[in-house]
Amino acid sequence: MLPAALLLAALPAGAVAAPGLSARRASLRDEIRVWRADQLPPAPSPLNARFSPRLDAVASAVAAARDARSLARAGEELKTWERELLAASYGGVRPAASAVRTRWDPRADLKQRAALDAARRAFAGGAGSAAAAADGSALFDGGSARGEAVPVAPADSGAAVTVEPPPLAPDDPARYAKVRAIVISEGASPRIVDAVIKAAISQKADPLMVLAVINQESDFDPRAHSSVGARGLMQLMPATARRFGVKKAANLYQVQPNLHAGIAYLKELWTRFTGGDMSGLASLDLRHSPDVRSAVAAYNAGPHAVDKYGGVPPYRETEGFVKKVLGYYERLKSALGS
């Protein structure tokens, strides 16, 4: 098979004369370059071996397309390739939001204990099994996070005594182990939940609020794509993401870039409508705080709509979004115990 560039050069002069065809071809070629550079794992890897030749074939089809129909067909082939790559990359995420979701069973919390034993060390890059670090299953110290009593043997006695551990700080990831267990028990990928909590702490945002927004926006599916073009976990529009350093739209399907831009945007809205940061959320009655409701509404409807109506816009979708996000937040806060 000839390289795509050679195929394009070999076309008859009139084959790419239409301005619309040339622009669409250039757009597809840009998308292919982004996917190859930023999403496709480098060789040698199973994903590269599986998907790189297919992307080469799509690139050749784009270059060889002689009319709008054949170019559209190549574009559909690229979309199919994208969906299959994302499915292979994030195969462990929960089903689509329309699927039946299980309720939290407290027994599921007990099942997490074995996987939550090397929390702070793994989170900090210290000791811990390579397998646990790979899927993020051991990022939290579940026992201490639940406030369990810790047996301690005094030096002058063979008997064990029980002491309560000190309260965990908001920036200690182990604090969120019980919340983590709830979200995972409902089908979210442990790797993604861990990434969300870590990113929220790093960016000084409230992890529970970020989890609540993502739960409503994408159901923790990094492959989510809305009809208006919002992408990834936090359902960002490419233009919004560019303001926070994510220049390529395809990168919004990656967990870390999406979280970086989405949390930064949420914090910006929070400051704009509440006049403060997210550090005091645990002490607020969020459902009855007009400023908090405005900040959450702005994430769904945009800040200009909130400004226009002086609060939550009278849109059914936005009103439902605010209610569900704050309800989920309160549920997680209740599980946190603070």
Measuring CA to CA, how many Å separate 60 from each of 23, 52, 245, 320?
Answer: 17, 12, 31, 46
Whole-angstrom distance, CA of residue 70 vs CA of residue 286:
53
Rounded CA gap, 334 and 338, in Å? 7
Q: Angle formed by the axes of helices 255-274 and 207-217, to 10°?
A: 110
Q: Using alpha carbons only, how large is the chain's radius of gyration in Å?
A: 24
β-pairing, 150-152 vs 161-163, is antiparallel
Opening angle at CA 300, ends 295 and 302, nearest 5: 75
Print burial letters for 275-313: b (CB count within 10 Å at least 16), e (below 16).
eeebeebeeeebeeeebbbbbbbbbbbbbebbeeeeebb
How many Cα neighbours within 13 Å face the side chain of 53? 6
Contact 271, 277 (CB under 8 A): yes
- Mention every residue, 6+ apart, whose C-beta is less than 8 A from residue 325: 209, 212, 213, 215, 216, 296
Does residue 116 sit in helix, strand or coil?
Answer: coil
Cβ-based neighbours of 142, under 8 Å, separated by 6 or more: 112, 113, 115, 116, 117, 119, 174, 177, 178, 181
Q: Annotated active-site positions, please?
A: 217
Query: For residue 195, what are its two tokens?
Result: 């990434």
